[in-house]
Structure 1
Amino acid sequence: MSHYAQNGEGMEVDLTKTSLGRSSSVNQKIHYVGGENAPEVVPQMEQQHGMYQEGVYDNVSAPSYGQEQVAEKSGKGSTICGMRKKLFWILLGVLALVVIVVVVVVAVVVTKNNSNSNDGSTSSGSSLGSGSGTSTATATATSSGSSPSATAGDIISDGSEFAAIKSGNSMQFFYQTNNGSVFYEVQTGEKITSGPSIVPGLTGAKSGTPLATVSWNDGAAIRLYYLNSDNEIQEYAYDNSTGWYSGSLSGEGIRAVDTSRLAAIKYGDNLEIRLYFQVSGGVVQEYTWKDESWSISQSLPVGITGTGLAALYYPDNNIRVYYQTNETSKVIHEISYGWPNLKGWDETGFGPDRNAVATVGSIAAVSWGDTSDWQMRMFYHPLDTPSSIATWAWKNTTWVGPKTIVSDTTIDNGSISVMSPAIDQYRIVYQDSSNSSTDLLVQE
């Protein structure tokens, strides 16, 4: 916003055209410029305001009348507030003009500021699919006042994890900035409609922490998971009635290995949460929230160091978990709980059959639909093109793919997160080659 200073303009008065008439209330002095017999009448007010200068009447015929004649010629009503009527109205007009200019300038500035504030976003569209936008954490938050806004120094850290959830008809996603803070944004259509804002009260996340989140009731309840500097899993919770607060898992002292990623899902019709992470030896561990308490539930096969993790829910209380098990091949495997006979965990054959060879790191998965037409999508960075994103699709009870959906625009092996806002839709967010977040809305 620019600031403007107002400069007053001096007003020149032609003294040869100025009436010398004054009311009797004006204190007047007589200055003798051309000799003591040549009186010049100059009002005291004009002298005080610089309108009279010594010598201005040199070589000019002096008036032929004296002080008494001046007083006699002036009449009541010839001045206003001690000033000549003409001068008074000129000054009043100038003052009115200045006031109008100031009001217009202020109105323009306020309108501009309101326009910038209402935009609430630094997003710019691109041609990725049916809807997309990019952003860096430099905008003013449009969310509640309890969430501090981002500043110009808060940028998405290189390689930050993303975690996305459904929030009404929008996507809410979380990421870490270069100063270690965890931020969130809400993306609706092609615009950021809330944020970027710091998750209020969340502190102690280690640099480069993995992130995972679950939600229910269209974002009215959220659980966000991350690691502290001791690699202990922390839970940060949000409920509409209470706002953000530290969740019970934060006090459990559950520790993951330093390279572990995180994945989480809400499971079943009742409120259960399944959380996945790596522990010593590379084992993928499942931890469960059920009946108001956390407990260790299942140790899954060993994953390679730093494997990506993704999990999704399948109808009739099935779970699918994706991870990599072989250091050499780096093929993504799918392991399923409750399929086909509800008797535990089984390898589905997706890995060997589909040969989804991926870089070590980010894997994302999403599902939607009903039992008769359930859809699943799994996303990864192909090993031979780590700056692109490919997907395998579960359609009509079979896997189809791979298909490249983002070509050479991401940072190598950057984070991927995805959610489904509606039937036959998914929205994927990833870090692009400029270290900004980009989201892609796909309608199928």
Structure 2
Amino acid sequence: MVTSRSGSIWTETGPPLPLSAMQNLSPRWLHAVRVYYLNNNHILQEYCYTSGKGWYPGEVGNLGVQAAQNTKIAAVKYGDSNRGVHFRVYCQPTLPAAASGSSIAAVAYLRKSLEIRIYSQTENGSIKENAVTNSSGWFVGEFSANAPRGASISAIGWSSSEDGGVELQVYWLNAQNTTVYSKNTGSWGSSQTVIGSLRAGLNFAAAEWDFGKRLRLYFQGPDERVQGLYNDGTDV
């Protein structure tokens, strides 16, 4: 079980929307945020925050990407050898073999080349992994788990700053309304409990920084407020 404590609580306002957010963090300051969502015509939109500039509409909305009405959204960022920053946004119907309305989780990291992992549900409820590298097309990964249809899914991953290894963690809500996770440091392990006795159908998101030394799990509590669990050093 993940050793964690309740963190700060934020109040949720407004109707539920499919959205995804990313931030670029330095050790002390927030530099940039990207938020992705759908407008009333289900066209993918981007809203940006840059330090010193504030909030402004991004360029994605100008592309006219028509998403499925019930899509979820996942977004990842990654760097390159020239210190450039790149973004990828995933929604339906662009995903391979995902059930309609499936939760979507995405992870990007650099090893010998760019690695991307996408987690979503198939029609039979199985959570599957689809992967791509710089030198290959999409292929089905090794991860597989069963969950109720429409279960929330989140994923995090990072490359070790010490040995160059990679750790992946996938979180999902199981049939017992418990958030569980499985990790991969070479192969996928069995699922472990994070927190139980949750509301059926809740949404949550996992986050990490400092090469996995800082873990966060944000979720909707029984009163629909967003709560946070954090782990700042305990091995999971």
Aligned to 1:375: 167
> Is this contact kept in 1: 2:104–2:118, CA < 8 A?
yes
Structure 1 residue 231: Cα displacement: 1.1
The answer to whether structure 1 residue 426 and structure 2 residue 215 are counterparts is yes
User: Does residue 323 in structure 1 map to residue 120 in structure 2?
Assistant: yes
Map of 2:47 onto structure 1: 236
- Counterpart among 200, 210, 219 of residue 18 in structure 2: 210
Q: CA deviation digits over 1:162-211, x for unaligned, max 9?
A: xxxxxxxxxxxxxxx1xx3xxxxxxxxxxxxxxxxxxxxxxxxxx42111
8 Å contact kept, 2:109–2:159: no
Alignment of 1:24-39 (within 5 A): none
Cα deviation, residue 350, structure 1: 1.6
Q: 2:141 aligns with which of 339, 348, 354?
A: 348
TM-score (norm 2): 0.86
Percent identity between the two aligned chains: 26
Pick one of 248, 256, 268 that aligns with 2:59: 248
Counterpart CA distance in 1 for 2:4 and 2:179 is 17
> Over residues 236-291 of structure 1, what are the superposed CA-to-partner deviations in whole Å (9 max), with x where a residue is unaligned?
00100211011111222212111100000003322211100002xxxxx2xxxxxx
Q: 306, 314, 337: which is aligned to 2:101?
A: 306
Residues 335 and 135 of structure 1, relative CA distance in 2, 3 Å threshold? same
Aligned to 2:201: 413
Tell me: CA distance 1:262–1:245, structure 2 relative to 1, closer, same or farther (3 Å). Answer: same
Greater helix content: 1
Q: What amino acid is the match of 1:336? A: A
SS at the partner of 1:372?
Answer: coil
CA contact under 8 A between 2:115 and 2:133: conserved in structure 1?
yes
The answer for unaligned runs of 5 or more in structure 1 is 1-127, 138-155, 157-176, 181-206, 280-284, 286-299
Instruction: Report the TM-score, using the length of structure 1 for normalisation.
Output: 0.47
**1:234 shift after superposition:** 1.1
> RMSD value over aligned CA atoms?
1.9
The structure with the largest strand share of the pair is 2
Q: Which amino acid aligns with 2:65?
A: I
Task: In structure 2, give the amino acid aligned to 1:266.
Answer: K
Counterparts of 1:388 and 1:130, CA distance in 2: 15
Deviation (angstroms), 1:134? 5.3
Hey, what's the Cα distance between the residues in 1 that align with 2:38 and 2:92? Answer: 12
Instruction: Indicate yes or no: 2:35 matched with 1:224.
Output: yes
Instruction: Pick the structure with greater CA Rg.
Output: 1
1:365-417 per-position Cα deviation (integer Å, ceiling 9, x unaligned): 011242633211111111x21x210101112x011121111111x22121111
Task: Tell me the distance in 1 between the aligned counterparts of 2:73 and 2:220.
Answer: 18
Instruction: List alignment gaps of at least 5 residues for structure 2.
Output: none
| Matching residue of 1:295 | none
Of residues 132, 136, 149, the one that matches 2:6 is 132
